[in-house]
Structure 1
């Protein structure tokens, strides 16, 4: 009876492959090796609980490396200056603007709350943390996401069906990479981005391994988990879309294969489509949109990012007086004009002049509150208004816009704009007594977002809600701001032009009154203004996209921290994360070289290997047992897609890039390295168990020793850096002072 049970257990283990499960602990790989026999005593207990034992071991080791000396550097390191400040805004509830989605920064704010931080520190780069800022606790909380990478790697490698040796080696690589270690130890978003990248791929692999039990409980759990992870990774940084693309490719292939399965009914096939739409599209979108909803709910006070949002949105922020502005605009009103295009700023002018063209005063769009944003509605030359009477501004009125601070008239003429050559230049010209008809603009109402057509019958301009255009009376062009950025002489502000094309759907020619002052008119009422969430959601996302695309290298300024994508796979450049003084603790972002070099080589080797076996299969060589080739291709294919989709987009991006952008990509390169080691050595029947052990020890010791050699780059370099020899493996690394 016992022998019969043992035989059934062995059949159950060997059948895991056919059912789609990963090998897990205790299974001898993928090349047909027999499962291990059940052991008695403590060895049997260990064998039964091996998964838990190694999960605990690796988690403890990960905690030691991530938390060790984490509070030693008591100053603001690198981008802690940005993300610590964003956390402060959540605690103070001040609205801010940033190019990244809000989830990671909300978690930074939560880490501050849990640590007892009260939001009183400005997080200026290089400044020493005061005693009342619990920076160490905040770093520990955020480093916990980095701690979780190691057990996540252990789970993922197990689900991929590798041998124990390959599984341990990949997990040790994640534990011992200096780059992943370094980036996880500060108040940054990268540890969260990496965490959700790992969970997304784990969810995909777990879901794949449940394909034998479609619509079962575990199948649904891991499909929902994958969708949740997609929503989270995209809500930390938009590069999470690359992980989403990997899941998308898998889903397309999976549904295509099911389409060719004639044994599947049309009803079941439709259910597969609906399940993917619900879990991989709807759930991620709900997670992503919910993060913005919470973001808007928390940040209910006026702050430094107000001007990136619509005037209606700003009117509901505490500390903002827009809603108190007079409802209707009249001649003599002082006001600010906001461009309605996504990412649009406030119409602005300053005393500086154009270096070419008319050489008249510059007119720009500016995203921050400033007295130079104020304009006065003034009659045209030859017209006048009785100061004792209120003359409301209406559709079709011709006006002058006079700059409040310099008294210049908003002006245009047939001179090409400095950046957008196909449009006319807009400038500030003349004064209260000097000017011409080139200062005249015709007001054209587009619509009023909060009034019915009957309410708009009077044709009056309303603050905040009326969208209007300004047509030049002589030239027929339209005042426009389309996010073209002026050079340094224009302070990198947005160019304002007069567009010759009359495109009535061009929102960059739409303007609305934001702030409005007129003592002759009664105050408004906030109840008259509503800002729908979906409009605010869309507006903010487009503004983020526009600002992200504007992060291009500045040819007038050298950025010694920046690097190119071709520099990353073989660690051509590292990154100094702080000042390099002898008396401060220093950090240098660099990967463990042997992990980066070998994993990069394995990216190419995986393609060669797949090509080699395809050629042999075409010649009818039989190298694989049933199901093994499909699994080899599945693992290699999606690890490679993960690497390619995370890396290739940076090759065509115009924005400035840094070494840490490669860190999510590295995960897929490491997976390919593990895949190659498992294919050629650890699961190959050509090697004896002793030889496999020798190879495992050799590769593992190499990784650990290499990590130990470079560990202080992540844990902190104490004293003069030149007192620590042996790190200059490449001449391009600027570790040492020269």
Structure 2
């Protein structure tokens, strides 16, 4: 290698060109024809090997392994059509349900953790269908490396790393989302590299097709896990750089630039969003029965599910009625209170939001403190039943604790800019701050067209949305969407806040259940249908809330959790199942060869980049636009993709596990490919082939040596003591 680094020689394959820059067709020599045939057979060979190592011994452990307890169960809910709630979007779980259906599963097994699969559940077939996603990552890696311009040796080495990566293999063997997430992450980056190869021919049929496929892939990866947003950011950055280069090109007309913008907005923004939206439409359509996830939805959604637990109640809410009240905001929980008190502030009884059925959700509607009228022993006023109407003043008394819904000028405990809401006093003890004013904001009609039109000024269960304005303070009862700390059992925060918009849904409430012995229900009443957009927004916010709640519990030791710094260093692994010597045991740990080599490559890449920048500043190297783009696609974007998939887990407060590093590890492997290209592409043949021979041998030997981790360990742990290289690896009992 010369003293002055030639970026063209190192990063570009030179092709003879004519005077207008088009490649000159040359007679293909015999050696190149052989190489062409080899390049056709290589991805097939790697793919067959990938299928073998992922399918091998896939059924040796016939117990529910690790998160199969979650995702296998979610798949069964689709088969039984029972609504559930999870922290992830539905596409991956619907694909799992599809594989279960293909395997003949009828949903009668609950996938309880560490339970043996019954004979009639073809868990081997279900696992195999899911393993296909992991196996197909191999050809994607091969063709991605080819699109990036890597040499055949580097392309094969990166592909071998992906094929024999222990963590990729073991995650592919079970009913999990990780292999699907990795597959769609790879398809997205592959499509981006394919677009890179077509930069010179925009608006052609091939270019338009791959632009559309990129958007479809983005929609799919984001619909499996929100982690897909990380690769979306990478594609977005690539797109911004492309559009900027178009703006700087004086030869392009405004019309052409506008066309570039329009196509990308449609294909890379609109199409992914529509796919994400469509997945939820299918999700809601399939899950039409009441299930375990009802508490995460609003009243209208629940009551339209088959076999729901909301009883048909009297249509007019009156003073003296017992009710449950559900928020219509982004945290659709029931208004709740209990005997526990706030640790600060007023030290009065806590008022929270709670989604599940509970006796502490029941409130009785009373006359306000400001009124001299009081209910008699029959819960009527002088024998007359009075309905609750728009503008009425009411007092809500908690059924269990007999305290009143109360607010005062004391700061809330989480949202400090709002007022605390508490349970205070009793029937005899209280003041004007127990009083609230009903403000009806919307009335929904029955879905039964023959049901008579109801009074629009009267409070009705299910169909009336209203706000509760504090009479003295003027603030509104609100569900903020945040949660209390552990002293509040992590239940939803309820406050009184000033709201200047009638359309502030966080201040909207509706009566869900209604009981009154003096009134009869209306059997002909059918509730209004829920709106898809409302359901879509609420379920996504519920997913976000559930994700935010996955924080480490300081009072409990989680032996499976790990920190982000431990992943690229292989400081620790994860036991995926029971560690009984009588079972096949699997240990989630990256291949030491792949992980440590790729981690070292990340450090080397930074030094290479610094060196190139230094040479460029000293004008000892001249980087053309084409060379810059090749440098970006081969090294820059894989490194950015690694950062995008790794740094969020470093900063986030939620609990993290080893498998969160899987997508980042793939991009670290691509960075490794770039470093090898940079260091050895222009060396003498015997040096280059010797280095790559050692790399291929090291990758293969490491897989074989540590293969029990991903193919299953059986019998006494002492057999595998040689695998425990670091003290943080708890492989041996």
TM-score, scaled to structure 2: 0.89
Match of 1:708 in 2: 704
2:353 counterpart of 1:365: yes
Q: CA deviation at 1:587?
A: 1.8
Shift of 1:211: 1.7
> Partner of 1:736: helix, strand, or coil?
coil
CA apart distance, 1:358: 5.8
In 2 relative to 1, CA 589–518 (structure 1 residues): closer, same or farther, beyond 3 Å? same
- Supply the distance in 1 between the matched residues of 2:123 and 2:319 (Cα, whole angstroms): 54
Residue 553 of structure 1 is matched in structure 2 by 552
What corresponds to 2:388 in structure 1?
Answer: 393
Distance of aligned partners of 1:383 and 1:19 in 2 relative to their CA distance in 1, 3 Å threshold: farther
Cα distance, 1:522 vs structure 2 = 3.9
80-89 vs 512-521, which moves further: 512-521
1:32-82 per-residue CA deviation (whole Å, 9 max, x = no partner) reads xx997225xxx96x6443343222211110111111111111111111111
Contact 1:396 1:443 in 2 (8 A): yes
1:95 CA displacement:
1.0
* Cα distance, 1:358–1:245 mapped onto 2, change above 3 Å: closer
Q: What SS class does the counterpart of residue 442 from structure 1 fall into?
A: strand
- Number of equivalent positions: 706
Note if contact 2:548-2:654 (Cα within 8 Å) is conserved in structure 1: yes
**Is the 2:297–2:535 contact (alpha carbons within 8 Å) kept by the matching residues of 1?**
yes
**Aligned partners of 1:389 and 1:137: how far apart in 2?**
67
What pairs up with 1:511-530 in 2 under 5 angstroms? 511-518=509-516, 520-523=519-522, 529-530=528-529
1:609-628 matches, cutoff 5 A: 609-621=608-620, 627-628=626-627
List runs of 5+ in structure 2 lacking aligned partners: 1-12, 447-452
Which of 252, 270, 273 pairs up with 2:240?
252
1:440 aligns with 2:434: yes
Give the Cα–Cα distance (whole angstroms) in 1 for the partners of residues 21 and 56 of structure 2: 39
Match of residue 383, structure 1, among 371, 374, 389: 374
1:116 aligns with 2:104: yes
Q: Secondary structure at the match of 1:496?
A: strand
In structure 2, how many angstroms separate the alpha carbons of the residues matched to 1:707 and 1:506?
A: 57
CA distance in 2, matches of 1:91, 1:350: 38
Aligned mates of 1:128, 1:624 — CA distance in 2: 61
Counterpart position of 2:488: 490
Q: Quickly say closer, same or farther: Cα 1:172–1:623, change in 2 above 3 A.
A: farther
Q: Does 1:464 align with 2:458?
A: no
Q: Cα offset for 1:605? A: 1.4
Partner of 1:14: 15
What pairs with 1:82-161 in structure 2 (closer than 5 Å)?
A: 82-161=70-149
Matched residue SS, 2:439: strand
Does 1:596 find its partner at 2:557? no
Deviations 1:627-676 (Å, cap 9, x if unpaired)?
Answer: 55542333211111111111122222122211111111111110010111
**Partner residue in 1 for 2:633:** 634
Say whether the 8 Å CA contact 1:360–1:429 is kept in structure 2.
yes
Residue 347 of structure 1 and its aligned partner are, at CA, apart by: 1.2
Determine helix, strand or coil for the equivalent of 1:657: coil
Deviation at 1:719, TM superposition (A): 2.0
- After TM superposition, the structure 1 stretch with the greater mean CA deviation from structure 2, 291-300 or 473-482, is 473-482
Residue of structure 2 aligned with 1:273, choices 261, 273, 278:
261
- Whether 1:532 and 2:531 are equivalent positions in the alignment is yes
Distance 1:267 1:357, change over 3 A: closer
Corresponding position of 1:696 = 692
Q: Are positions 1:231 and 2:215 aligned together?
A: no
Partner of 1:719: 715
The equivalent of 1:5 in structure 2 is none
Over 3 Å counting, the alpha-carbon distance change for 1:184 and 1:289 in structure 2 is same
Q: Distance in 1 between matches of 2:108 and 2:445?
A: 42
1:543 counterpart residue number: 542
Any idea what SS the aligned residue of 1:14 has? coil
Q: Does 1:67 align with 2:55?
A: yes
- Deviations along 1:259-285, one digit per CA (max 9) or x if unpaired, are 122222222222111111111111111
Partner of 1:31: none
Higher mean displacement: 218-227 or 621-630: 621-630
- Counterpart Cα distance in 2 of 1:420 and 1:206: 48
Query: 1:414 deviation in Å?
Result: 5.9
- How much has 1:418 moved relative to structure 2? 5.1
Q: Give how far 1:130 is off.
A: 1.8
1:421 and 1:48 map into 2 onto residues whose CA distance is 67
Structure 1 112/131 Cα, relative in aligned 2: closer, same or farther at 3 Å?
A: same
Tell me the CA shift for residue 20 of structure 1.
12
**C-alpha contact 2:721 2:731 (8 A) present in aligned 1:** no
CA distance in 1, matches of 2:125, 2:354: 38
C-alpha spacing 1:708/1:414, structure 2 compared with 1 (3 Å)? same
Distance 1:243 1:418, change over 3 A: closer
Match of 1:9 in 2: none
Cα shift at 1:126: 1.5
Matched position secondary structure for 1:724: helix
Q: Distance in 2 between the 1:673 and 1:211 partners?
A: 25
SS in 1 for 2:466: strand
Q: RMSD over aligned Cα, in angstroms?
A: 3.1
CA deviation digits over 1:520-563, x for unaligned, max 9? 14427665513221222122212222222222222222222222
Structure 2 partner of 1:262? 250
CA contact (8 A) 2:364 2:398 kept: yes
- 1:38 equivalenced with 2:30 (yes/no): yes
Question: For residues 473 and 524 of structure 1, what CA distance do their matches in structure 2 show?
Answer: 36
Gaps of 5+ in 1: 1-11, 28-33
Instruction: Give the Cα–Cα distance (whole angstroms) in 1 for the partners of residues 17 and 384 of structure 2.
Output: 87
Structure 2 CA distance for partners of 1:597 and 1:200, relative to 1, 3 Å? same
**Deviation of 1:695 (Å):** 1.3
After superposition, the Cα gap between the structure-2 partners of 1:213 and 1:18, relative to the gap in structure 1 and judged at 3 Å, is: farther
Distance between the aligned counterparts of 1:304 and 1:475, measured in 2? Answer: 39
Q: How does 1:191-340 map to 2 (within 5 A)?
A: 191-320=179-308, 322=310, 324-340=312-328
Distance of aligned partners of 1:619 and 1:439 in 2 relative to their CA distance in 1, 3 Å threshold: closer
Is the 1:14–1:35 contact (alpha carbons within 8 Å) kept by the matching residues of 2?
A: no
How many Å apart are 1:169 and its aligned residue? Answer: 0.2
Go from structure 1 to structure 2 and tell me whether the alpha carbon gap of 1:422 and 1:276 turns closer, same or farther (over 3 Å shift). Answer: closer
Tell which deviates more after alignment, 267-276 or 51-60: 51-60
Seen in structure 2, the aligned counterparts of structure 1 residues 680 and 416 have a Cα distance that, compared at 3 Å, is: closer
Q: SS state of the match for residue 722, structure 2?
A: coil
Q: Distance in 2 between matches of 1:225 and 1:669?
A: 24
Counterpart in the other structure of 2:151:
163
Tell me the alpha carbon deviations over residues 237-262 of structure 1, each in whole angstroms, 9 at most, x when there is no partner.
11101111111111111111111222
The change in CA–CA distance for 1:456 and 1:224 in structure 2 (over 3 A counts) is: same
Provide, for residues 490-527 of structure 1, a one-character-per-residue CA deviation record: whole Å limited to 9, x for no partner: 33222334447887665433221122334514427665
Determine if contact 1:399/1:441 at 8 Å carries over to the other structure.
Answer: yes
| 1:687 has 2:684 as partner | yes
| Contact 2:362/2:399 (8 A) holds in 1 | yes
